Amino acid sequence: MEPKLFTPLDLGDLTLPNRMVMAPLTRNRALPQGDVPHALNATYYMQRASAGLIISEGTQISPEGKGYVQTPGIYSPAQVAGWKTVTGAVHRAGGRIFAQLWHVGRISHVSLQPEGQAPVGPSPIAAKSQTFTASGFEDVSRPRALETGEIARVVEDYRKAAENAKAAGFDGIEIHAANGYLIDQFLRDGTNKRDDAYGGTAENRTRFLGEVLEAVTGVFPAKRVGVRFSPFSNFNDIADSDPLATFAVAMARAGEAGLGYVHLIEGDTGISRALPPEAIATLRANFSGAYMANNAYDRQIAIDAVESGQADLVAFGRLYIANPDLVARFKANAPLNTPDPQTFYGGDAAGYTDYPELDQAA
């Protein structure tokens, strides 16, 4: 019998033809002038259109939301026009693509910020982390704390970005609330030391997330909105005294908003998928939509996870970098291309649009 991994799943009125998802992947190949997506990016995504769903690379909602050189934005007319060529190419190739909406918060550098200002965060605590700027790897800058009265403006930036995603032809959006970026910084008690309504209890720390989800589900139907969390990752110097308690409340926020899916990075970002299954089960008990699992899944683990109901969808990152036709390769149990880490971040077509498909390799 055909493994369930290769069978359709409905997200509201959107049918995904299979449960294999191209994970959001930062590749730093937008045009340096204006962080605009262009023809090379359209080719890359189009090549991967047989995925059940493509989630775009993290896409900053505002100039302030940028944390790395040459990541694309979705706030200017030129960016929306660039994304239109991407979504058009994916749709013509028979695919579906969501935009991942991203605000890096404190994971940024003054050289990447408007007028060289400090990045923003929930609290003025610098991360022990690095980013890549026009000059190479640099320590991130100390953030300033968002004032209570500014938070509505950031929520509005998310809403506008969702409008722009719609105008650019995306089929839906994923809110990036993982990997130590702005929303994750609000969620965790190690980075959120606020004494207003956005800090303190888990209910307060998840308030910003809830407001963002409410804003964007006024733009896209809730089933076409997902959210990504990384509850047990320490990536970008994030820390929380009780992640299970924090993320039980965050999952409930996703449930209240009626989202189509929650996407979890299981374990340490990019390193392992080892997580106590009971932790995932505890979190999933708070959300009744689809569950997308991620982190170093291979073919057999993914087939087994979907077969047993441990996951409804599985997102693949590195495997999708190197294998544009990953669905066909998995179906045929064919050999895989090996990704080249030297070309992950920045550069041109090499290591981006030149990984061969099965028939090209044969």
Query: What residues are annotated to the active site?
Result: 181
Nearer to ligand 8OZ, 58 or 105 (CB): 58
Nearer to ligand 8OZ, 275 or 303 (CB): 275
Nearer to ligand 8OZ, 66 or 253 (CB): 66
Nearer to ligand 8OZ, 18 or 295 (CB): 295
Smallest distance from ligand 8OZ to CB 67, Å:
7
User: Binding string to ligand 8OZ for residues 260 to 279, with x set by CB under 6 A, is what?
Assistant: ---------x----------
| Residue selected from 58, 172, 267, 351 as contacting ligand 8OZ according to rule CB under 6 A | 58
Nearer to ligand 8OZ, 258 or 339 (CB): 339
Regarding 98 and contact with ligand 8OZ (CB under 6 A), the answer is no
Smallest distance from ligand 8OZ to CB 230, Å:
8
| Residue selected from 179, 206, 294, 295 as contacting ligand 8OZ according to rule CB under 6 A | 179
Say if residue 350 is exposed, middle or buried (CB neighbours under 10 Å; 0-12, 13-18, 19+): exposed
Whole-angstrom distance, CA of residue 115 vs CA of residue 36: 19
Q: How many residues does the chain have?
A: 362
Smallest distance from ligand 8OZ to CB 228, Å:
8
Smallest distance from ligand 8OZ to CB 163, Å:
22
Whole-angstrom distance, CA of residue 293 vs CA of residue 261: 10
Helix (H) or strand (E) holding 201: none
Whole-angstrom distance, CA of residue 107 vs CA of residue 68: 9
| Residue selected from 44, 45, 68, 291 as contacting ligand 8OZ according to rule CB under 6 A | 68
CA quadruple 219, 221, 222, 224: dihedral sign: negative
Smallest distance from ligand 8OZ to CB 238, Å:
11
Say if residues 177 and 229 touch (Cβ distance below 8 Å).
Answer: yes
The candidate with the shortest Cα–Cα distance to 283, out of 230, 241, 235, is 230
Structure tokens at 205: 């720390």
Regarding 323 and contact with ligand 8OZ (CB under 6 A), the answer is no
Nearer to ligand 8OZ, 245 or 271 (CB): 271
DSSP letters spanning 211-277: HHHHHHTTTS-GGGEEEEE-TT--GGG---S-HHHHHHHHHHHHHHTT-SEEEEE-SSTTT-----H
Regarding 26 and contact with ligand 8OZ (CB under 6 A), the answer is yes
Smallest distance from ligand 8OZ to CB 321, Å:
12
Whole-angstrom distance, CA of residue 14 vs CA of residue 174: 15
The candidate with the shortest Cα–Cα distance to 197, out of 255, 131, 234, 152, is 152
Kindly list the residues in this chain that would bind ligand 8OZ in the complex (CB under 6 A): 26, 58, 68, 178-179, 269
